[in-house]
């Protein structure tokens, strides 16, 4: 499904990103997490930010996407405890991102916090670090599609409450009416 959404809407479309992040969250939160697949999802999105995939977006918008994906990649790395590939692959990707967004204010601020991928730490139980659960799927309180939100107009169901009698006995098609009129 993510593949189809990406092909139709593009790799940096908000809907595509939402679907990709959801898939990564599913991989991360499953009873047997597949953190390698989650890591690859974020890597692919990051590669799209430095390719021509986001040419229709403003540079600062793509920069914000890259920062968010780096945060998610960092959490997956932290949980996994290692890279799925050689660290040089991710260091090279970091340099490409840094080159692409070096003039963006958001990148200048975020890179101070994110540092470089070679400086990221891994999960250590003895340190007492607590997982902030960013990038982990949480079961919603309700599985309703449209929920009421405080301060917002409630969603109104505009569907008819009852169907017409079309297709039931007593319904006459137009061509039957024409025959009866003759």
Q: Is the pLDDT of residue 125 over 80?
A: no
Q: Is residue 107 part of a domain?
A: yes
The string of DSSP codes covering 119-158 is G-----GGGTPPP--TT-----S---SS---TTSPPP---
Token code pair at residue 124: 């250590």
139-161 burial, b if ≥16 CB within 10 A, otherwise e? eeeeeeeeeeeeeeeeeeeeeee
Rounded CA-CA distance 54/62 in Å is 7
CA–CA separation, 177 vs 72, rounded Å? 64
Confidence check: pLDDT of 18 > 90? yes
- Name the DSSP class of 141: S
Mean per-residue pLDDT over the chain, rounded? 82
The model's pLDDT over 140-179, given as tens digits with 9 standing for 90+, comes to 777 776 566 676 666 555 555 555 665 555 555 555 666 6
CA distance 64 to 67: 5
Q: Say what the pTM is.
A: 0.72
pLDDT score of 127: 46
Instruction: Report yes or no on 23 lying in a domain.
Output: yes
Domain of 94 in residue numbering reads as 2-123
Q: What is the pLDDT of residue 141?
A: 78
Q: Is residue 129 part of a domain?
A: no
- 65-81 mean pLDDT: 93
Whether 31 maps to a domain, the answer reads: yes
Say whether pLDDT at 57 is over 90: no
The DSSP code for 111 is H
- Give the separation between CA 136 and CA 123, rounded to whole angstroms: 15
- 12-17: average pLDDT: 91
User: Is residue 112, in this structure, part of any structural domain at all?
Assistant: yes
The residue with greater pLDDT, 132 or 173, is 132
pLDDT for the residue numbered 19: 92
Residue 46 lies in a domain: yes
Quote the number of domains for the chain: 1
Q: Is the pLDDT of residue 90 over 70?
A: yes
Rounded to an integer, the average pLDDT of 79-108 is 94
Specify if 165 maps to a domain: no
In this predicted structure, the answer to whether residue 182 has a pLDDT above a threshold of 80 is: no
- pLDDT for the residue 84: 93
Residue pair 66/49 in contact by the 8 Å Cβ criterion: yes
pLDDT of the residue at 126: 43
Does an H or E element contain 69, and which? Answer: helix 59-80
């Amino acid at each position: 499904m993510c593949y189809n959404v990406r092909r139709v809407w593009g790799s940096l479309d908000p809907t595509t990103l939402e679907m990709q992040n959801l898939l990564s969250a599913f991989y991360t939160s499953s009873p047997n997490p597949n953190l390698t697949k989650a890591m690859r999802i974020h890597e692919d999105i990051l590669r799209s930010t430095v390719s021509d995939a986001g040419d229709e977006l403003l540079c600062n918008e793509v920069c914000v996407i890259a920062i968010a994906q780096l945060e998610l990649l960092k959490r997956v790395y932290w949980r996994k405890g290692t890279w799925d590939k050689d660290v040089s692959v991710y260091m090279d990707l970091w340099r490409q991102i840094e080159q692409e967004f070096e003039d963006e204010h958001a990148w200048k601020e975020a890179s101070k916090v994110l540092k470089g991928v070679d400086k990221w730490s891994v999960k250590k139980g003895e340190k007492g670090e607590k997982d902030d659960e960013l990038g982990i799927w949480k079961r919603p309180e309700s599985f309703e599609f449209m929920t009421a939100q405080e301060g917002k107009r409630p969603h109104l169901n505009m569907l008819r409450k009852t169907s017409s009698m079309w297709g039931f006995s007593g319904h006459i098609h137009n061509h039957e009416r024409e025959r009866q009129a003759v």
